Amino acid sequence: MIPVQGFSGRKVAVLGLGRSGLATARALSAGGAEPCLWDDSPEARDNAVAQGFELTDLTRRDAWDEVVCLVVSPGIPHLYPEPNRLIARAMAEGVPVDNDIGLFFRSWSTRDWGRMDKTPKVIAVTGSNGKSTTTALIHHILSEAGRPAQMAGNIGRGVLDLDPAQDGEVVVIELSSYQAELARALTPDIAVFTNLTPDHLDRHGGIGGYFAAKRRLFSEGGPDRAVIGVDEVEGRFLANQMAQGAGDDRVIRVSSGEKLDGPGWSVFARKGFLSEWRKGRQVASIDLREISGLPGAHNHQNACAAYAAVRTLGLAPKVVEAAFRSFAGLPHRSQLVAEVGGVRYVNDSKATNADSAAKALQAFDNIRWIVGGLGKGGGIASLVPHLDSVKKAYLIGHSARDFALQLGETPHEICETMERAVTRAAQEAKPGDTVLLAPAAASFDQYPDFEKRGEDFVARVTALLARAKG
């Protein structure tokens, strides 16, 4: 646990009692603060009480007496489409609003660091797609290289649940736009921006607000090194804003598909090969084509970003390459579930929007595509140029029939449920085919989250193959 500094003997309100909220409450208490806990959900309040926490009804006016800060969980809107009523109350009372990320950055460094040989560092990763894989890959590389490392944030543990820093340790944090937008302190040593595609636009008031939330990690944080994906105009703009000139190697540009051979520091992947260039010369290369945990161009971009981040810490290319080969990937993100009779079954349930589904569709050939759920704006119309590798689509969920209308000449079948979709795809699959779950939609019509949807896919595949063996 990281005890929160700066609030000893003072009242701090905590709104939202999920994983990060309860971790925040414990960390505030450990730092000597008096946490005042509340959640609009009766179930969340009951869970907190069951874990031994006391509640403070923040809907009461007198509950705000002497409160010096409100700490908000990331899922609670504070600006768009409209602020939560208690956040609006805090702003009206002049109470500063923060989140656990802000508390972490103000509390991570301690006096004990003066006795360490190597100062601990923080790598923070943000972006639309690939940030979880990039974060996990960085952590994996560091661990394989024997460097003490922890991983937290939007993946794994809450940041305040981390252990106090060891000598030379590196903490790798995944940050969503929700987390980056509200944190009052953002001071990573290395900041990583993977890419930007439209998402969460209602929460940020449009694409400009969404980009601005992620840009804060760089503009407010002032990292020593900035690793920036430049395959979109926003990334190119951000790299331009951060660099003092073309040869400024504090900014490392990353691309999947474009050769970057200018005078600065760049890492790019083309035709399955990762290349590192510095001062106009190639200094390293890695063949990514046979690395099973990183399939497809989108994962090659993640590999480039992770490679660049750890190279700033002095890790050798050969060490990074060896760690790439032992990386198993993350569940629900191009996860190879099984390969039987020449047919692969791949779980990419995290592909919750059209852009991330497009990347999955480009990573495989001869696809039997399980798609659908609770569709987002535009549906899957933008995926039509990427359907050449799809032999047939198997549609599930609320938007199955709407998606069917957008498939053009692509063969398809409305299956509605995961069970039927997996069964039908397996029945029709031939050697060389990939049965791919890449829904291009939210999960909330049939599942509480994308993880449960992916777990259902894995369970259906496992059961089907077990019956086939029996």
Contacts of 425 (CB under 8 A, 6+ apart): 368, 370, 392, 394, 435
Comparing CA positions, the residue from 34, 54, 163, 42 lying closest to residue 110 is 163
* DSSP-based three-state secondary structure for 276: strand
Distance (Å, whole) CA 454 – CA 348: 7
| 232 neighbors 220 (Cβ within 8 angstroms) | no
Q: What's the Cα-to-Cα distance from 221 to each of 102, 186, 218, 225, 314, rounded to whole Å?
A: 11, 5, 5, 11, 22
Residue 261, number of CB atoms within 10 A of its CB: 12
Supply the DSSP symbol for 19. H
| 201 neighbors 210 (Cβ within 8 angstroms) | yes
Containing 46, the helix (H) or strand (E) segment is helix 42-50
Residue 127 known to bind ligand: yes
* Residue 376 phi, psi dihedral angles, 5° rounding: -105, 175
Distance (Å, whole) CA 275 – CA 36: 51
Residue 110 known to bind ligand: no
Alpha-helix runs per DSSP H in 145-295: 177-182, 201-204, 207-219, 233-242
Supply the DSSP symbol for 393. E
Task: State the chain's maximal CA–CA distance in angstroms.
Answer: 68
Residue 133 known to bind ligand: yes
Residue 391, number of CB atoms within 10 A of its CB: 18
Structure tokens, 320: 């990074």
Contacts of 137 (CB under 8 A, 6+ apart): 294, 302, 303, 306, 324, 327
| 359 neighbors 231 (Cβ within 8 angstroms) | no
Contacts of 177 (CB under 8 A, 6+ apart): 126, 200, 203, 204, 210, 213, 214
Residue list for the binding site for ATP: 127-133
Residue list for the binding site: 127-133
